[in-house]
Amino acid sequence: MSNATLERPETAAPNAFTQAELGWNAWLDPVPESALTERQKEGLVDIVRAKSAYFRLLAHDPDILRFRTLADKDIFYNTRAGLPRAERELAAAAVSRSNGCIYCASVHARFASTYSKRSDDVQRLLDEGVNVDLDPLWNAVVEASVALTATPVAFGPEHVRQLRAVGLDDLAIADLIHSAAFFNWANRLMLSLGEPEA
Partner 1 sequence: MSTQQSTDVLDRLAGIAAGSSLDALRHERPETRRNVQASYEALFDAKDETGVSPAERFAVASFVALLHGDGTSAQHYLQHLEQAEGDRLSTLVREQAKRAAARGPYGTYPPGPLSREDTDGPVLAIGIADRAKLGERLTTALEHAHRLVFHPRDAKAPDFAALQAAGWSTAAIVTLSQIVAFLSFQIRAAHGLRVLGA
The vertex-24 CA angle with 22 and 27, nearest 5°, equals 160
The DSSP code sequence of 101-124 is -HHHHHHHHHHHHHHHS-HHHHHH
CA distance linking residue 52 with residue 99, whole number of Å = 23
Output 53 or 117, the one with its CB closest to partner 1. 53
Site size for partner 1, by CB under 8 A?
64
Q: Which of 58, 86, 92, 140: binder of partner 1 (CB under 8 A)?
A: 58
Contacts (CB under 8 A) with partner 1, residues 77-136: 78, 80-82, 98-101, 129
Contact (CB, 8 A) for 87 and 73: no
Q: Which of 20, 35, 47, 150: binder of partner 1 (CB under 8 A)?
A: 150
Using CB under 8 A as the binding rule, whether residue 173 contacts partner 1 is answered as yes
Output 55 or 138, the one with its CB closest to partner 1. 55
| Distances, alpha carbon 107 to alpha carbons 73, 80, 192, in Å | 15, 23, 17
| Residue 117 beta carbon to partner 1: minimum distance, rounded to whole angstroms | 26
| Distances, alpha carbon 135 to alpha carbons 14, 28, 29, 118, 140, in Å | 29, 42, 44, 11, 8
Q: What does residue 23 show for φ and ψ, rounded to 5 degrees?
A: -90, 175
| Part of the chain binding partner 1 (CB under 8 A), chosen from 27-35, 105-113, 116-124, 135-143 | 27-35
| Residue 165 beta carbon to partner 1: minimum distance, rounded to whole angstroms | 15
163-167 long-range Cβ contacts below 8 angstroms, 24+ apart: 165/136, 165/140, 166/136, 166/137, 166/140, 167/137
Contacts (CB under 8 A) with partner 1, residues 175-194: 175, 177-178, 180-182, 184-189, 191-193
| Residue 64 beta carbon to partner 1: minimum distance, rounded to whole angstroms | 4
Contacts with partner 1 by CB under 8 A lie at 10, 13-17, 27-29, 57-58, 60-61, 63-68, 70-71, 73-75, 78, 80-82, 98-101, 129, 148-153, 155-157, 159-160, 170-171, 173-175, 177-178, 180-182, 184-189, 191-193, 195
